[in-house]
């Protein structure tokens, strides 16, 4: 039965593909880019997250907030199936990306990840040159045209505001960049693959205030072009960048989504008492 | 109370003195050994010692064919062991989950291999490579036996090197939709290269120092080997033979020992330099 | 779970490579058994321990004196090497200044790299004449113990050093905060905390001492007998194999393989014990 459902999913939508040429189509133009239904997650049999229903609107920024240990980062990792890499991690429920079940066994998880990019708390540029950091994943996903790759390297570096800072040292080690520059390089690297969605797991929490501000401005710039899900500890940041807000909380030892909606609405009149206390600084 | 104060420092003093004495004894023993090897070896060591054939069972002449045999033995060993070592380490770190049945079986095999005494490798090499496979007493038999011996230490240090590569990079490559294979090729193996090379060198060092495993596999012949199927005497075997079987061979034995120790030092230095070089090149390219 | 095709092929290839190691262990076991089988079947294992003499060509297979000699040299070597090695490790970790610690570690590391034949050569030329002056003939159990001790010293020192390095900092700070002297800290807190690691290192060294051939062969005198003092020559199991393998045939050759098999089992048991200890440490 389960199998039949999954099959009908993949038959409806064309298979995912990497964006290998300049003229590639967006994966979808539907309003709800990612729809998570009844998602639960456990580590080695211990439930960490239960029954999360959350949708991500096209080209909007959804801020996910909550205290540490409430499962918000784990939830983010289910959306590009990075949870596959964690031994003992079990995910349950349904997650659709542009109408495709991302847990369909016939789906190529690598292609999914090129279309659902991810930025981590700690910037993780590879021990390669700045240029290669962006170029290599492109080549791996099938962008075989050199000119096209060069063009994309240029475009994304401009997009994240790094171009004039690094144009003279594209072939120098990426690890020589400052923390904030490294994080922007990682964002550029993900953007080069032309993702539909960018998952950001506390992208600013390891940065100094100034770099953090630069990255935040970048997120605001990307709004309207990329769908963004950002996990943050910083309520003020969530207020500044979030179009939508999702509040996670630990209820009876398990992470749950306790409230979600338009950011302005939730901040103005939270419906859940815990949210109200959290947003006012009384809890969390 | 007064007693306690008087007693404690004395006990402390004894411990302190013992620790210093131990360290001193270790340093002195090493110094004595090194002094003898260098002092006695240098008097016999010369350019012609390195470039001529041994005469009078090694009392006179040089060790040229023995150096060549040693190099060939090590080349065979490293050619065979390196791909196996890197492959197995990659398997253990990135392709099987720690604690799974496959990982446990391979790990246990390695622990057993690491514990097998070298003389037993000699017995095995003799029975399997020399007789069963018909390779005879040859550099090939000896080199293959050395490869078996060096395998566990090479795998373990490669494994440690790969595990030391930050998981950030593994997640990073996965999040960019790269295969494990290309992650390994472009990021993980280059990043682990210094440790991998150091591990391979450790294995070579162990192989170069080996005697017992070679006596019944590559044999005693001290002539210049014509091919890998010829018997060849390694430096270590030469030292053993000169010391035990050749009256008046000590001077030559010390000179050969100096060459062997020098060779090991050079191998390590190359490893170090190479690993720095590889790392730097990879980052800037 | 979907896996890329390339990863699938590579994984299969690597599994085969990994299998080679397991296969190698099995092949070694198989050949040791195969080569020793004729004598195990024809003579029986019991007689290896009960026969009064070692004279395989006349069907006397008493390995007991050599087994005893092996154990005696190895234990003697450990008794000498353990205090020296642990002392050296304590010195370089807790007493020496930066420079002195570096030198001490360099000495130990260099010593670990010296080939066993070189130890044997030095033992025979430098050490044996000294012992000869005290009590002829010089080549003796004592000489073997001393040379072996020197050989395994680096292993003891390096493993002890590594074990001491894993003692958690808070434990040291806690001990210091109680006003303990450095010596009391070492004796009552640090060494006990690192005990299982140190013992694991000693077991490992014991295995290495039992398996060592050349250094022992060169200085032990190689007379098959049960020694009555440390000044008498002995022959170890390993030396016996090295000495007789060249001309042994038939049951004689097979009985050498039996001693190899016995040696492997002892050393493997020690390795397993050492491994268990360090496992217990990392889990507990």
Asked whether residue B37 falls in the same domain as residue B80, the answer is: no
Cα angle vertex B167, ends B166, B169, to 5°? 80
Eight-class DSSP state of B98: T
Q: Percentage of chain C surpassing pLDDT 90?
A: 58
In chain B, residues with a C-beta closer than 8 Å to the C-beta of A122 are 168
CA distance B197 to chain A (A): 18
Predicted pLDDT of residue B277: 60
Q: What is the ipTM of this complex?
A: 0.90
In chain B, residues with a C-beta closer than 8 Å to the C-beta of C241 are 119, 122-123
Predicted pLDDT of residue B31: 95
Contact C32 B124 (CB under 8 A): yes
Contact B240 C210 (CB under 8 A): no
CA-based nearest residue in chain C for residue B110:
C21
Out of B270-274, C215-219, C257-261, least confident range: B270-274
Asked whether residue B37 falls in the same domain as residue B99, the answer is: no
pLDDT tens digit sequence for A182-202: 999 999 999 999 999 999 999
Give the residue-averaged pLDDT of C54-75.
91
Asked whether residue B170 falls in the same domain as residue B36, the answer is: no
Contact C17 B117 (CB under 8 A): no
Query: Which pair of tokens denotes residue C58?
Result: 């006349």
In 10 A of CB A105, how many CB atoms?
Answer: 11
Contact A140 B191 (CB under 8 A): no
Asked whether residue B37 falls in the same domain as residue B51, the answer is: no
Residue with token string 């002539």: B223
Contact C126 B22 (CB under 8 A): no
Among the listed residues B198, B241, B210, B202, the one whose alpha carbon sits nearest the alpha carbon of residue B70: B210
Give the pLDDT band (50/70/90) at residue A63. very high
In chain A, residues with a C-beta closer than 8 Å to the C-beta of B181 are none
In chain B, residues with a C-beta closer than 8 Å to the C-beta of C218 are 240, 243-244
Q: Any CB–CB contact under 8 A between B32 and chain C?
A: yes
Among the listed residues A228, A172, A219, the one whose alpha carbon sits nearest the alpha carbon of residue A57: A228
Q: Which CATH number covers residue B172?
A: 1.10.3720.10
Asked whether residue B172 falls in the same domain as residue B262, the answer is: yes
d(CA C96, CA C98) in angstroms, rounded, equals 6
For chain B, give the longest Cα–Cα distance. 80
List all residues of chain A from 18 to 77 with a beta carbon under 8 Å from chain B. 18
Residue with token string 């470039």: B51
Predicted pLDDT of residue C267: 85
Structural domains in chain B (count):
2
Would the pLDDT of A5 be above 80? no
CA A128 to chain centre: 23
Asked whether residue B102 falls in the same domain as residue B123, the answer is: yes
pLDDT tens digit sequence for C144-186: 999 999 999 999 999 999 999 888 877 877 777 877 888 888 8
Pick the residue with more confidence: B38 or C49?
B38
**3-state SS, residue A46:** strand
Who contacts C190 (Cβ-Cβ below 8 Å, separation ≥6)? C94, C164, C167, C171, C172, C175
Asked whether residue B93 falls in the same domain as residue B181, the answer is: yes
Contact B175 A132 (CB under 8 A): no
Contact B171 A140 (CB under 8 A): no
d(CA C243, CA C223) in angstroms, rounded, equals 11
Asked whether residue B31 falls in the same domain as residue B134, the answer is: no
Contact A110 C4 (CB under 8 A): yes
Torsion, Cα of A5, A8, A9, A14 (10° steps): 160
Predicted pLDDT of residue C281: 59
Query: Which pair of tokens denotes residue C266?
Result: 């002892």
d(CA C45, CA C112) in angstroms, rounded, equals 36
Q: Which domain holds residue B19?
A: 2-41
pTM, 2 dp: 0.85
Predicted pLDDT of residue B213: 93
Query: Which pair of tokens denotes residue B128?
Result: 């399997």
Give the pLDDT band (50/70/90) at residue A229. very high
CA B83 to chain centre: 16
In 10 A of CB A6, how many CB atoms?
Answer: 18
Contact C4 A84 (CB under 8 A): no
Query: Which pair of tokens denotes residue C244?
Result: 């007789």
pLDDT tens digit sequence for C191-201: 998 998 999 89
Would the pLDDT of B6 be above 70? no
Asked whether residue B127 falls in the same domain as residue B263, the answer is: yes
Who contacts C98 (Cβ-Cβ below 8 Å, separation ≥6)? none
Predicted pLDDT of residue A12: 58
In chain A, residues with a C-beta closer than 8 Å to the C-beta of B175 are 80, 82, 113, 117-118, 120, 190
What's C47-283's CATH class?
mainly alpha
Asked whether residue B124 falls in the same domain as residue B231, the answer is: yes
Nearest to B174 among A82, A136, A172 (CB): A82
Q: Which of the residues C115, C151, C157 would you substitute to probe the B interface, choosing the one with the greatest number of B C-beta atoms within 10 Å?
A: C115
User: Which residue numbers of C have CB closer than 8 Å to A's CBs?
Assistant: 1-2, 4
pLDDT tens digit sequence for C132-146: 999 989 999 999 999
Chains in touch with B (≥3 Cβ pairs < 8 A)? A, C
Say if strands A197-201 and A116-119 run parallel, antiparallel, or are unpaired: parallel
CA-based nearest residue in chain C for residue A106:
C2
In chain C, residues with a C-beta closer than 8 Å to the C-beta of A107 are 2
Contact C4 A108 (CB under 8 A): yes
Q: Any CB–CB contact under 8 A between A118 and chain B?
A: yes
CA distance B203 to chain A (A): 27
Task: Enumerate the H helices of A79-176 as residue ranges.
Answer: 109-115, 130-140, 146-159, 163-166
CA distance C80 to chain B (A): 11
Contact A85 B187 (CB under 8 A): no
pLDDT tens digit sequence for A252-282: 889 999 999 999 999 999 999 999 999 888 7
Would the pLDDT of B219 be above 90? no
Contact B283 A136 (CB under 8 A): no
Residue B217, CA distances (Å) to B119, B148, C246 in order: 11, 13, 11
Q: Which of the residues C20, C117, C125, C152 would you substitute to probe the B interface, choosing the one with the greatest number of B C-beta atoms within 10 Å?
A: C117
Who contacts A230 (Cβ-Cβ below 8 Å, separation ≥6)? A61, A62, A63, A64, A200, A203, A219, A238, A241, A242
Among the listed residues B170, B163, B164, the one whose alpha carbon sits nearest the alpha carbon of residue B187: B170
**A vs C: CB pairs below 8 A:** 10
What beta strand segments (E) does chain C contain? 54-55, 60-61
**Helix then strand then coil, % of chain B, to nearest 5:** 80, 0, 20
CA distance A267 to chain B (A): 32
Eight-class DSSP state of B130: I
Q: Percentage of chain A surpassing pLDDT 70?
A: 95
Contact B128 C120 (CB under 8 A): no
Evaluate whether C155 touches C204 at the Cβ level (below 8 Å): yes
Domain ranges of chain C: 2-45, 47-283
CA distance C3 to chain A (A): 8
CA A94 to chain centre: 18
Contact B127 C257 (CB under 8 A): yes
Cis-peptide into B48, omega within 30 deg: no
In chain A, residues with a C-beta closer than 8 Å to the C-beta of C5 are none
Would the pLDDT of A166 be above 50? yes
Nearest to C238 among B91, B102, B119 (CB): B119
Q: Which of the residues B100, B169, B176, B278 would you substitute to probe the A interface, choosing the one with the greatest number of A C-beta atoms within 10 Å?
A: B176
Asked whether residue B163 falls in the same domain as residue B193, the answer is: yes
d(CA B116, CA B113) in angstroms, rounded, equals 5
Q: Any CB–CB contact under 8 A between A87 and chain C?
A: no
In chain B, residues with a C-beta closer than 8 Å to the C-beta of A85 are 170-171, 174
Give the pLDDT band (50/70/90) at residue C2. very low
CA distance A107 to chain C (A): 7
Asked whether residue B171 falls in the same domain as residue B35, the answer is: no
């Amino acid at each position: 039965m389960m199998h039949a459902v999954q099959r009908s999913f993949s038959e409806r939508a064309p298979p995912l593909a990497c964006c290998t040429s300049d003229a590639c189509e967006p994966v979808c133009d539907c309003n709800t880019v990612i729809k998570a239904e009844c998602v639960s997650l456990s580590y080695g049999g211990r439930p960490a997250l239960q029954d999360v229903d959350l949708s991500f609107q096209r080209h909007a920024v959804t801020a996910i907030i909550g205290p540490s240990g409430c499962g918000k980062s784990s939830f983010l990792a289910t959306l590009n199936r990075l949870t596959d890499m964690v031994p003992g991690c079990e995910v349950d429920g349904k997650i659709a990306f542009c109408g495709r079940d991302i847990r369909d066994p016939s789906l190529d998880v690598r292609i999914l990840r090129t279309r659902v990019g991810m930025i981590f708390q700690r910037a993780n540029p590879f021990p390669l040159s700045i240029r290669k950091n962006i170029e290599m994943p492109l080549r791996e996903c099938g962008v075989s045209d050199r000119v096209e790759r060069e063009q994309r390297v240029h475009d994304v570096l401009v997009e994240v505001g790094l171009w004039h800072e690094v144009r003279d040292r594209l072939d120098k080690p990426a690890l020589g960049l400052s923390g904030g520059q490294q994080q922007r390089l990682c964002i550029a690297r993900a953007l080069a693959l032309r993702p539909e969605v960018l998952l950001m797991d506390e992208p600013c929490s390891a940065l100094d205030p100034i770099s953090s501000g630069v990255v935040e401005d970048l997120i605001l710039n990307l709004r309207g072009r990329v769908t963004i899900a950002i996990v943050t500890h910083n309520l003020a940041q969530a207020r500044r960048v979030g179009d939508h807000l999702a509040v996670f909380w630990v209820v009876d030892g398990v992470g749950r989504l306790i409230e979600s909606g338009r950011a302005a609405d939730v901040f103005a009149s939270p419906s859940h008492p815990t949210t109200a206390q959290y947003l006012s600084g009384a809890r969390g | 109370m007064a007693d306690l104060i008087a007693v404690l420092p004395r006990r402390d003093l004894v411990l302190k003195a013992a620790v210093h004495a131990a360290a001193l004894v270790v340093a002195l023993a090493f110094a004595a050994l090194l002094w003898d090897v260098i002092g006695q070896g240098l008097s016999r060591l010369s350019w012609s010692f390195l470039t001529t054939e041994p005469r009078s069972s090694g009392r006179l002449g040089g060790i040229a064919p023995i150096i060549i045999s040693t190099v060939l033995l090590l080349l065979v060993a490293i050619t065979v062991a390196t791909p196996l070592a890197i492959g197995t380490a990659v398997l253990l770190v990135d392709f099987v989950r720690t604690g799974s049945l496959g990982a446990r079986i391979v790990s246990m095999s390695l622990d057993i291999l690491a514990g097998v005494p070298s003389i037993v490798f000699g017995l095995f090499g003799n029975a399997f490579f020399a007789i069963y496979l018909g390779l005879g007493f040859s550099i090939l038999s000896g080199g293959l036996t050395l490869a078996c011996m060096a395998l566990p230490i090479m795998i373990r240090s490669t494994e440690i090197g790969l595990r030391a590569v930050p998981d950030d990079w593994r997640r990073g490559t996965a999040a960019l939709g790269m295969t494990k294979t290309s992650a390994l090729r472009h990021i993980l193996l280059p990043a682990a290269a210094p440790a991998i090379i150091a591990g391979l060198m450790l294995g070579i060092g162990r192989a170069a120092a080996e005697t017992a495993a070679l006596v019944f596999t590559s044999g005693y012949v001290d002539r210049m080997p014509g091919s890998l199927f010829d018997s060849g005497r390694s430096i270590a075997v030469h030292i053993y033979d000169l010391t035990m079987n050749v009256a008046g061979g000590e001077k030559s034995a010390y000179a050969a020992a100096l060459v062997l120790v020098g060779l090991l030092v050079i191998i390590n230095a190359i490893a170090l330099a190479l690993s720095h070089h590889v790392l730097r090149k990879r980052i800037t390219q | 779970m979907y896996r890329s095709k390339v990863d699938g092929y590579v994984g299969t290839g690597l599994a085969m490579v990994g299998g080679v190691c397991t296969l190698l262990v099995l092949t070694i076991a198989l050949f040791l058994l195969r080569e020793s089988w004729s004598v195990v079947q024809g003579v029986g294992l019991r007689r290896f321990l009960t026969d009064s003499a070692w004279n395989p060509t006349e069907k006397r297979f008493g390995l007991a004196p050599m087994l005893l000699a092996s154990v005696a040299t190895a234990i003697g070597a450990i008794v000498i090497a353990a205090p020296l090695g642990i002392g050296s490790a304590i010195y370089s970790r807790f007493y020496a200044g930066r420079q002195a610690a570096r030198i001490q570690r360099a000495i130990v590391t260099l010593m670990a790299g010296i080939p066993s034949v070189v130890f044997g050569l030095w033992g025979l030329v430098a050490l044996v004449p000294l012992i000869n002056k005290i009590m002829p003939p010089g080549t003796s159990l004592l000489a073997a113990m001393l040379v072996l001790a020197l050989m395994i010293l680096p292993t003891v020192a390096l493993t002890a050093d590594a074990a001491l390095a894993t003692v958690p900092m808070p434990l040291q700070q806690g001990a210091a905060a109680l006003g303990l002297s450095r010596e009391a800290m070492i004796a009552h807190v640090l060494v006990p905390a690192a005990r299982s690691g140190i013992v694991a290192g000693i077991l490992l060294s014991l295995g290495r001492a039992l398996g060592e051939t050349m250094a022992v062969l060169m200085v032990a005198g190689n007379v098959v007998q049960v020694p009555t003092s440390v000044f008498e020559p002995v022959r170890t199991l390993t030396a016996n194999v090295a000495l007789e393998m060249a001309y042994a045939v038939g049951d004689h050759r097979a009985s050498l393989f039996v001693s190899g098999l016995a040696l492997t089992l002892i050393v493997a048991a020690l390795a397993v014990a050492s491994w268990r200890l360090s496992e217990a440490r990392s889990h507990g």
